[in-house]
Structure 1
Amino acid sequence: MRPFQRFAIADASQVGEARRAAQLLATELGFGESAAGRLALGVTELGTNLVRHAGGGALLLGLDGDTAIEVVSLDNGPGMDVERCLQDGFSTAGSAGTGLGAVKRIANRFSAFSQPQRGAVIAARFEAATTTAAAPATDLTVAGIGLPAPGERVSGDSWGLCLKEGRTLLLMADGLGHGPDAAEAADLALQLFRRCASAAPAAVLEDAHPSMRSTRGAAVAVVAIERSLDRLLFAGAGNVSGRLINGISDRGLMSQPGTLGLQIRSLRDVAYDWPEHAILVLFTDGIVSRWNLADAAGLMACGPMVIAGWIIRDYCRGHDDATVVVVRRH
């Protein structure tokens, strides 16, 4: 899975670089003229807002399959009143005050969150087709952001979803180290996951272990979400972590020591109750382990891409591949 591209935005000249990269992605995905124009306008408006209102920040660009492009704006500026800023004519910088509202109108999906003196995260999704999307195959909304280690073009992290025997399975893999060899290990783990016939997380890992010996190895975790959505099964080897979080509780999902492809202990599935309104978060060790969303009141009501962006912005270690995936029940 290709990592997101990160563009530092400190002045207006850097917005053009992000827009050109978005246009290349649009061409790759076969966006028509109208869809490509909407994407270019969205990137331009979000980048310009970073310069004008936040004192700079970053834009992230990523693919969601082969039909959509995700644009995520991150800043640590003074914050904003999201609802007021979405109203045409409201501006704190003397502009026309139509930028953020325009992005929401032209995007296929939009979510934003901000706190005073803690900046803002805005996520906008642009799809190649304007036709109404088919109903989702599961009652889940899933979003993930992966960033490569500084200086690398590929990420040693990967993640993916599949449906088996009425369960939704989610895998996250973190190849040892970073760079191409780590990416090879993580990508093979994802391929083996998609081929595996089992719907039991521990069995998925055990089946993949022998084939992973051809790589440098990876930390891997698998979650199986039951059709009823009130319970999940988890198994993991290594430093891929999980959390179930709502406004009342924050429960960790614990992996066992080991590395797929090198050495693992006897793995077992552990069942966890999924509290109502809780979100599931999986993350690799490029993210600080002791992050906390309790001081970001209202964030849990936002879309998963915004939650993932907030975690990446505030808790990325900055010296390794880093991936966060957020799952919300409908």
Structure 2
Amino acid sequence: MTIAGSLTQVLPIEDSSQVGHARRTAQRLAEQNGFDATDAGRVALVATELASNVLKHASRGELHLRLLPCPDGFGIEMLAVDRAQGFDLDACLTDGYSTGGTQGIGLGAVARQTEVFDVYADARGAVLLARLYPRGNRQPDLRYGVSQHSLNDDPACGDTWHLAYNGANISALVIDGLGHGEDAERAAKAGERAFAQTPFASAVLLMEDMHRDMIGTRGGAAAFAQFNAARDGLTFTGVGNIGATLISADKSRGLVSSPGIVGSQYRRAQPFDYAHVNGHLLIMYSDGLQSRWNLQDYPGLVHRHPAVVATVLHRDFCRGRDDVTVLVVALEAAHG
């Protein structure tokens, strides 16, 4: 299956009225995408508890909302994001612990309402992840996460991303169209369409196809990573300033791109092969994210869900003056 890029929907949580708006928005998204009344009710309950938890512990924050394409239907992803100290994870996971104005069911009970629940909290703040799927149609959770935001909430985003799964093999793309706004988006989408046709093709030919389809646009930086589970290897091909890193529990490897602009001019793309990558995190990002982050500064984060990793990095290292995309993929020989 393939997953086309999309923006993260950000709902500010700064007063109690916005909790209700978050609940209605999440529930409506679920109802519009195949969730029955019972499952949409679970989505509404979880949205309420996550948003209320932000108000209780941080006074303000955000709820990030995303639709999750699946082989047969859709799931709903919600991430509660704050920048406050003093989050008491143990207390919040206790049933009956009230976050104020809710049923007091506690995040422990919320975790049982979801198919995927994960948390990362430290002195810089907390990120809580909930993924829900219709219970009558069990979907495997794909271990990827993305945080994509346009500059000044522009509906047009000059970044795009794309994921393709073929069994255990994965191909992941990030493009940053030059500048931002509609012209940058047009360039990025042209490259994404070319990639989506043959995401597992020979790397050199695939980049040439993207280049050809981006001619006549502004062009941009582009990179894709192709994971082959059988040989436990990854081929990375980049042109321009898309950042990429392979991370394990004890080390990280920066991935090498070539200079140039796809759709304008570049030398022949140079693929680079990396061995023994099973169990690693692949992190790809546009230059809207600072490059000075180090996951070792966040003890235990490497073991959290990729959606949590992407959101923490966006929260703490977004430059704030360009579109930004952070794509995190767990490279695993099996999924589900």
What TM-score do you get using the length of structure 1 for normalisation?
A: 0.90
The 1:223/1:128 distance shift into structure 2, 3 A limit, reads same
What residue number does 2:33 align with? 29
What residue number does 2:128 align with? 122
* Aligned positions of 1:100-111 closer than 5 A: 100-111=107-118
What residue number does 1:177 align with? 179
Q: Any conservation in 2 of the 1:79–1:120 contact (CA below 8 Å)? A: no
Displacement of 1:179 after TM fit? 1.9
The answer to whether structure 1 residue 244 and structure 2 residue 265 are counterparts is: no
Q: Any conservation in 2 of the 1:77–1:120 contact (CA below 8 Å)? A: yes
Q: Secondary structure at the match of 2:229?
A: coil
The amino acid of 2:131's aligned partner reads R
Q: Secondary structure at the match of 1:255?
A: coil
Q: List gaps (5 residues or longer) in structure 1.
A: none
The 1:121/1:163 distance shift into structure 2, 3 A limit, reads closer
Q: Secondary structure at the match of 2:152?
A: coil
Tell me which moved more, 97-106 or 295-304.
Answer: 97-106
Counterpart CA distance in 2 for 1:164 and 1:19 is 35
Q: List gaps (5 residues or longer) in structure 2.
A: none
What residue number does 1:19 align with? 23
Choose which of 6, 9, 13 in structure 2 pairs with 1:9: 13
Seq. identity, %? 39
Counterpart CA distance in 2 for 1:328 and 1:322 is 20
What residue number does 1:279 align with? 281
Counterpart CA distance in 1 for 2:34 and 2:40 is 9
What residue number does 1:312 align with? 314
What residue number does 1:202 align with? 204
Tell me which moved more, 94-103 or 280-289.
Answer: 94-103
Counterpart CA distance in 1 for 2:55 and 2:205 is 50
Tell me which moved more, 21-30 or 255-264.
Answer: 21-30
Q: Secondary structure at the match of 1:214?
A: coil
* Aligned positions of 1:78-117 closer than 5 A: 78-90=85-97, 97-115=104-122, 117=123
Counterpart CA distance in 1 for 2:259 and 2:48 is 45
Counterpart CA distance in 1 for 2:112 and 2:163 is 29
Counterpart CA distance in 2 for 1:244 and 1:15 is 37
Q: Any conservation in 1 of the 2:162–2:192 contact (CA below 8 Å)? A: yes
Displacement of 1:50 after TM fit? 0.6
The 1:82/1:166 distance shift into structure 2, 3 A limit, reads closer
The amino acid of 1:73's aligned partner reads A
What TM-score do you get using the length of structure 2 for normalisation?
A: 0.88
The amino acid of 2:130's aligned partner reads A
Where in structure 1 do 4 or more consecutive aligned residues deviate above 6 Å?
92-96
Displacement of 1:235 after TM fit? 0.6
Displacement of 1:249 after TM fit? 1.4
What residue number does 2:64 align with? 60
Counterpart CA distance in 1 for 2:310 and 2:303 is 13
What residue number does 1:290 align with? 292
Counterpart CA distance in 2 for 1:156 and 1:97 is 42
What residue number does 1:40 align with? 44
